[in-house]
């Protein structure tokens, strides 16, 4: 899960406890959509699908891209409009196993990469720093976009993937033409995070980030990797009754030899407690000002997201293009694409429609 911009959402955890009435008011003010009525305008409606219908991808591939050999799933026509789907932590490409065929059937070329430190993605050199900072992950996706000869793409994701997608849309809008982001605006600022304390409830929710900043926390994560991440799944999606087979399929991706290093560095860096690499300084300086995202955007939230997240009103002014916020009901938690694939796929199709209207 990601550390959000503290200067804009320092009180977001407190807001979560205001209750259903406050969320209903925000929905009325901001045009929230439930999963049952997510279709926007005359855009194509995604057919109904039961989450968990698919257990595999039709095509898994590898490609050298920048610093990495990237493992990724691909589906849909090669000449279709490109969509890049980005997972978070502790998740993997199977968060999109039901979304992918829906978008492919709608004519999109769908690319779903394992992020650095996950699945079959590996570093080309043992000398490369195992760096989890936000700029490094974003530039991985630019390198992948180049390697696949994609000129323009829609980007969509949750957690680390939403942060990465937002960075791409903010800084390179000429290439990443529309955005779907679960939990809104997640671009971070480690300098602010280092000096701005969270209120108690938010700090409590972020316990694992502080745990990761200790030597025993790193050792504990490595030792109890499987159970640790399963606990995160359960707490982040308290109403999602996933089975062991579903979790174990994704848990295999945590066995990547770089996984622990990348995760620990990401969270230490995000709190300003670990250095990044100087080659990313220019990108990080651009991100530190919390740039406004100008491309058409749909942000989404599950109504039962157990992970700490900002009230949608705190980030509305970060999107200057055509925009919608959608609250997906029915007990949907943090892993929204896997828990509500129809709603997520619909958002991708609808935000594409925004670019055409």
Per the listing, tokens 């619909």 go with: 346
Whether the predicted model's global pTM rises above the 0.75 cut? yes
pLDDT at 259 over 70: yes
- Give residue 183's Cα distance to chain centre: 9
- pLDDT tens across 315-342, in order? 999 999 999 999 999 999 999 999 999 9
116 contact partners, CB below 8 Å, separation of at least 6: 68, 123, 132, 136, 137, 140, 258, 262
- Give residue 70's Cα distance to chain centre: 17
Q: What is the DSSP letter of 334?
A: S
pLDDT at 19 over 80: no
Look at residues 157, 141, 72 and name the one whose alpha carbon lies nearest to residue 335. Answer: 157
pLDDT at 25 over 60: no
What mean pLDDT do residues 284-298 have?
A: 98
Confidence band of 357 (pLDDT split at 50, 70, 90): confident
Q: What is the pLDDT of residue 44?
A: 81
pLDDT at 14 over 90: no
Copy the structure tokens of residue 301.
């939230």
Q: DSSP 3-state assignment of 182?
A: strand
Q: What is the pLDDT of residue 43?
A: 66
**Of 299 and 22, more confident:** 299
Confidence band of 356 (pLDDT split at 50, 70, 90): confident
pLDDT at 41 over 50: no
pLDDT at 3 over 90: no
Q: For the chain, give the longest Cα–Cα distance.
A: 54
Look at residues 90, 23, 14 and name the one whose alpha carbon lies nearest to residue 304. Answer: 23
Q: What is the pLDDT of residue 253?
A: 98
Q: What is the pLDDT of residue 146?
A: 98
Lowest mean per-residue pLDDT among 10-19, 209-218, 241-250: 10-19
Q: What is the pLDDT of residue 42?
A: 46
Confidence band of 70 (pLDDT split at 50, 70, 90): very high
Cα distance between the two ends of the chain: 34
226 contact partners, CB below 8 Å, separation of at least 6: 251, 254
Q: What is the pLDDT of residue 206?
A: 92
The mean pLDDT of the chain is: 90
Q: What is the pLDDT of residue 328?
A: 98
Strand blocks (E) in 166-290: 176-182
Q: DSSP 3-state assignment of 144?
A: helix
Look at residues 249, 226, 229 and name the one whose alpha carbon lies nearest to residue 54. Answer: 249
pLDDT at 79 over 50: yes
Per the listing, tokens 């943090």 go with: 334
Distance (Å, whole) CA 88 – CA 164: 9
Per the listing, tokens 């594409």 go with: 352
CA angle in degrees (0–180, nearest 5) for 94-96-98 = 100
The reply to whether CATH 3.40.50.1820 applies to domain 6-356 is: yes
234 contact partners, CB below 8 Å, separation of at least 6: none
User: Is-cis flag, bond preceding 90, omega within 30?
Assistant: yes
Long-range contacts of residues 343-347, Cβ cutoff 8 Å, at least 24 apart: 343/35, 343/38, 343/300, 344/99, 344/156, 344/180, 344/182, 344/300, 345/46, 345/99, 345/102, 345/103, 345/106, 346/38, 346/39, 346/45, 346/46, 347/38, 347/156, 347/180, 347/298, 347/300
What does the chain come to in residues? 357
Q: What is the pLDDT of residue 2?
A: 64
């Amino acid at each position: 899960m990601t550390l959000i911009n503290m200067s804009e959402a320092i009180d977001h955890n407190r807001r979560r406890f205001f209750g259903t009435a406050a969320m209903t008011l925000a929905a009325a003010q901001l045009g929230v959509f439930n999963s049952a009525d997510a279709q926007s305008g005359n855009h194509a409606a995604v057919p109904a699908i039961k989450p968990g219908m698919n257990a595999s991808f039709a095509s898994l591939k590898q490609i050298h891209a920048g610093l990495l050999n990237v493992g990724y799933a691909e589906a849909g026509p090669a000449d279709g409009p490109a969509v890049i789907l980005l997972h978070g932590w502790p998740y993997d490409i199977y968060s999109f196993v039901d979304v992918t065929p829906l978008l492919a059937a709608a004519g999109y070329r769908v690319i779903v990469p394992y992020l650095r430190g996950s699945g079959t993605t590996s570093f080309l050199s043992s000398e490369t720093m195992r760096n989890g900072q936000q700029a490094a992950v974003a530039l991985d996706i630019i390198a992948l976009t180049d390697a696949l000869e994609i000129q323009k793409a829609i980007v969509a994701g949750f957690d680390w993937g939403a942060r990465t997608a937002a960075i791409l849309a903010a800084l390179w809008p000429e290439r990443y033409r529309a955005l779907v982001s679960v939990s809104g605006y997640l671009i971070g600022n480690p300098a602010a995070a280092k000096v701005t304390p969270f209120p108690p409830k938010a700090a409590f929710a972020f316990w694992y980030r502080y745990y990761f900043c200790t030597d025993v926390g790193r050792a504990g994560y490595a030792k109890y990797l499987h159970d640790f991440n399963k606990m995160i799944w359960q707490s982040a999606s308290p109403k999602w009754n996933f089975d062991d087979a579903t979790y174990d399929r994704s848990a295999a991706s945590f066995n990547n030899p770089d996984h622990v290093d990348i995760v620990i560095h990401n969270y230490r860096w995000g709190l300003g407690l670990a250095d990044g690499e100087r080659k990313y300084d220019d990108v990080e300086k651009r991100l530190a000002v919390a740039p406004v995202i100008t491309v058409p955007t749909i942000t989404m939230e599950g109504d039962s997201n157990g992970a700490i997240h900002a009230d949608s009103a705190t980030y509305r002014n970060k999107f200057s293009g055509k925009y919608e916020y959608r609250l997906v009901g029915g007990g949907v938690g943090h892993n929204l694409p896997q828990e509500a694939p129809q709603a997520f796929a619909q958002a991708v199709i609808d935000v594409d429609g925004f670019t055409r209207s």
